[in-house]
Amino acid sequence: MSDEFKPTDNPDEELPSKTALKREAQRLQALGRRISELNSEQFETLELSPQLAQAVRDYQRFSSHGAKKRQLQFLGKLLRKTDVSIIEAHIADIEGQSAQSRYEFSQLEKWREALLDNPSSITEFIATYPQVDRQQLRQLVKKAQTTKNDSEHKAASRKLFRFLRDASSHET
């Protein structure tokens, strides 16, 4: 009998269905695949047990489809014994799916719109982020405002957004 499924002492308590157990196993295997797809810098920020970290490295090393499939099942088994909520939250942060990441993204969009609509908001941005390269900020805002072609305007706006993102991430 497997170690993850044990009958309970309470006969009134419903046991999970076979389908529910399979769904959970597939979810954990998908999480294992997502962990293995992280780059090495992101992978190191995860706090995984040594056995789980080695299993992920083995999965990445294998080239055979069958070996990868077996290793993914093993990853799922190891993840059943781990608190995956912390890992999932960390991966969501990395992938920009967390509430905090979405909030920061929307704040940067608001800054970009404010800078393009009202050039005097540059001083507000500089006051908020004093380490920002002021000259480059002014140049990017001016370029985004003065471009006539729609595709050039979009490109300049994206470049401004990337600059704002980098400036806000170096705030600390």
Check whether domain 18-94 has CATH 3.40.80.10, yes or no: no
104-160 confidence digits (pLDDT tens): 888 888 988 988 888 788 888 888 888 888 899 889 988 888 887 888 888 888 898
Q: What is the pLDDT of residues 27-60, one digit of tens each?
A: 999 999 989 888 888 888 888 889 999 999 999 9
Distance CA 49, CA 164 (A): 37
Alpha carbon of residue 85 to chain centroid: 14
Hey, what long-range contacts does 77-81 have (CB within 8 A, 24 or more apart)? 78/32, 78/49, 78/51, 78/52, 79/28, 79/31, 79/32, 79/52, 80/4, 80/24, 80/25, 80/28
Is residue 3 over pLDDT 60?
no
Residue 153 and residue 100 in contact, taking contact as beta carbons nearer than 8 Å: no
The CATH 1.10.60.30 portion of the chain extends over 18-94, 99-169
CATH number 1.10.60.30 given to 99-169: yes
What is the residue type of 149?
A: N
Confidence at 1, pLDDT banded by 50, 70, 90? very low
Q: If DSSP codes are grouped into helix, strand and coil, which group holds residue 77?
A: helix
pTM of the model: 0.52
pLDDT at 118: 86
Give the tokens for residue 104: 């920061």
CA–CA separation, 125 vs 17, rounded Å?
A: 55
First to last CA, the chain: 52
Longest dimension (CA), the chain: 74
How far CA 169 is from CA of 31, 135, 162, in Å, comes to: 27, 18, 11
Q: Which helix (H) or strand (E) holds 33?
A: helix 18-36
